[in-house]
Each structure stands twice: as C-alpha cells, then as structure tokens.
Amino acid sequence: AEAFERLSGGAYDIDRIERETALMVRAYFYGNLLVGAVVAFLHWLIFAGLGLKNAAGLGMVTGLLTLVPLIGLPAALLLPTAQALFQFDRIAPFVLLVTSMTALHLLTANYLIPRAIGGRVKLNATAATVGLLFWGWLWGVKRSVPVMFVDADVTTVTAAADKVLRVDEADP
C-alpha cells in the first residue's frame, strides 16, 4: 500500500480504497446470498406447486445454482427435470417447469440482482460485461468471475483520485 501511495504521489487515499473495496465485496456476497435465498424460496413454491418430491431440497440447490454466471440456469434445470422424468408422464409439467424457472431467472438477473447489488458495488453494467468478456477470453469463464473484483478495485481507485492528470496537461 505504501509503495502504491508513493508511486501515485499521494493522489489516492489508500485507506478509503481498502474500505470501499471491502464494503463492495461484502455487499456483493450478502446481496447474492439474499437473492439466492429469495430464488430458492420461489423455486420451492414452483416445485411444490408442480408436485415434485423433495421440493425444498431442489429449491435450495437450484436457487443458488441460478446465480452462477452463464451456466447457472442450464445447471439448475437439470435436477428438477431429472426428478420430473421419474414422476410425470405428460409434457405439461416439463413445459411449466422450464418456463417458470427461465422466467424467474430472467427476472432475477435483470431486476433483483441489479436492485440488491448494483447500487452498492459501484460497477456499471458496461464495465462488468467488458470485464467478463475480456477476462473470459484471456483466462476462461471459470476464472473470469473473481476478476470482477479487480474491475471494482480499478473503479474505486479512479473514483478515489483527488486529482486526475489529463494527457494535455502533462509536463513535457
């Protein structure tokens, strides 16, 4: 931290950056935990309404699986669909299951998560998307998600600068 402070010429408040980064990580974790619990409860309601056995256990697992970027919904659909294969002989419960889980996932990804997490993490959607694409291309999808905190750190560092040196104002 001292080396960065010396290198930046004191333009950054390192303690503030550390505090804000810790708050963002905590907000991201607890926000996802809250959303996962809400989705797990809603999945339980869907599964119980369809008459799936072990609806509570399936709801908990699938509620948390849907939070995984890119592969969450397909992974979450596997378990209840497999359970439904053993219980149902008609197509209607399968269509209802897939449709309701997909609709809930879209609602969660586009409304609940931005409301529960977006305002506290201070990372806009464009930066998150570009970060995921770049780090996913560089390291693969599995390793790109934790790097989002690096993007959040960069955002915090640039926001915490007391002064910004523009290129046209630089001394020759």
What does the pLDDT profile of the chain (172 residues) look like in tens digits?
Answer: 566 555 555 555 667 767 777 777 788 788 888 889 999 999 999 999 999 999 999 999 999 888 887 788 999 999 999 999 999 999 999 999 999 999 999 998 888 887 777 766 666 666 666 766 777 777 776 666 666 666 666 665 555 554 444 444 445 5
- C-alpha 18/C-alpha 13 separation (Å) is 9
Query: What is the distance between the alpha carbons of residues 48 and 55, in angstroms, rounded to a whole number?
Result: 5
8 A C-beta contact, residue 48 and residue 80: no
Contacts of 93 (CB under 8 A, 6+ apart): 50, 51, 84, 87
Residue 42, φ and ψ in degrees, nearest 5: -65, -35
Residues ≥6 apart with Cβ < 8 Å to 122: 20, 24, 152, 155, 156, 159
